[in-house]
Chains A and B, each alone.
Chain A
Amino acid sequence: DSGVTQTPKHLITATGQRVTLRCSPRSGDLSVYWYQQSLDQGLQFLIQYYNGEERAKGNILERFSAQQFPDLHSELNLSSLELGDSALYFCASSASGSGDEQYFGPGTRLTVT
């Protein structure tokens, strides 16, 4: 158990819908990262937040957004869902950022039908 929690574990929804994935980092960690893992794209970095502020952005679609709240939990919002958005979404946390080990949550498996 990494200490990072993610909800829900599974999500099945239809195209065009909007979903919210939630992540709670390990106690004391200030950085939260979101990754997408699909069979054809591998593990892709989406976005990073540090103590409530966006710090780094990766290949995140405009239909996706995220935020980190004052209690440090984070949410990833996915809208206008397409079939290709079906993937495992992982949240990871680290103490600060650069040079720190990242601990991954169990992931949310999103299936878009």
Chain B
Amino acid sequence: QQPVQSPQAVILREGEDAVINCSSSKALYSVHWYRQKHGEAPVFLMILLKGGEQKGHDKISASFNEKKQQSSLYLTASQLSYSGTYFCGTEGTLHAGGTSYGKLTFGQGTILTVHP
């Protein structure tokens, strides 16, 4: 099932902060965050793994609540270059505690616009 992202869109002025949320109805092994600009490929931002490991860019922070199957992406001191559509991709766990081999189910996206 597709994870649900909120809000659907955010408009900011440079320097303002934003939080984008991602919620899943199934148990998760990992949550991935991507930013996509119009007509371009999604760009990897962050991956959060069950158990607490995180990998990603230094200037991006995120959290993963394994019990609630929720993740949040924190964008602070926004810049014009932050504009784009943000997607979370979730990787579920198999019943035996294994993984789904990297298969990602993406949310519908959050459109972030940063104005000068």
- Seen from chain A, the residues whose Cβ lies within 8 Å of a Cβ on chain B are 2, 31, 33, 42-45, 48, 50, 55-56, 58, 90, 94, 96-107
- Decide if B75 is an interface residue (CB 8 Å cutoff): no
Contact of A97 among B34, B101, B108 (CB under 8 A): B101
30 A-B contact pairs sorted by A residue (CB < 8 Å) = A2-B41, A2-B43, A43-B42, A43-B106, A48-B101, A56-B103, A58-B103, A90-B41, A94-B102, A97-B99, A97-B101, A97-B102, A98-B91, A98-B102, A99-B30, A99-B49, A99-B99, A99-B102, A100-B47, A100-B102, A101-B32, A101-B44, A101-B55, A102-B102, A104-B34, A104-B42, A104-B43, A106-B40, A106-B41, A107-B41
User: Does A98 contact B29, Cβ atoms closer than 8 Å?
Assistant: yes
Query: Which B residues are CB-close (under 8 A) to A2?
Result: 41, 43-44
Chain B binding surface SS class: strand
Chain B proximity of A103: nearest CB distance (Å)? 6
Query: Which A residues are CB-close (under 8 A) to B113?
Result: none
Report the nearest A residue to B55, measured CB to CB.
A101
Query: Which B residues are CB-close (under 8 A) to A105?
Result: 41
Besides A2-B44, A45-B105, A50-B101, 15 other CB < 8 A contacts? A2-B41, A33-B102, A42-B107, A43-B42, A43-B87, A44-B106, A48-B101, A55-B102, A56-B103, A98-B102, A99-B49, A99-B99, A100-B47, A101-B47, A102-B32
Report the nearest B residue to A91, measured CB to CB.
B41
Q: How big is the B interface, by class?
A: 20 to 34
Taken together as a complex, chains A and B put the C-alpha atoms of A110 and B32 apart, in Å, by: 26
Return the 5 tightest CB-CB contacts between A and B, nearest first. A98-B99, A97-B102, A104-B41, A43-B106, A56-B103
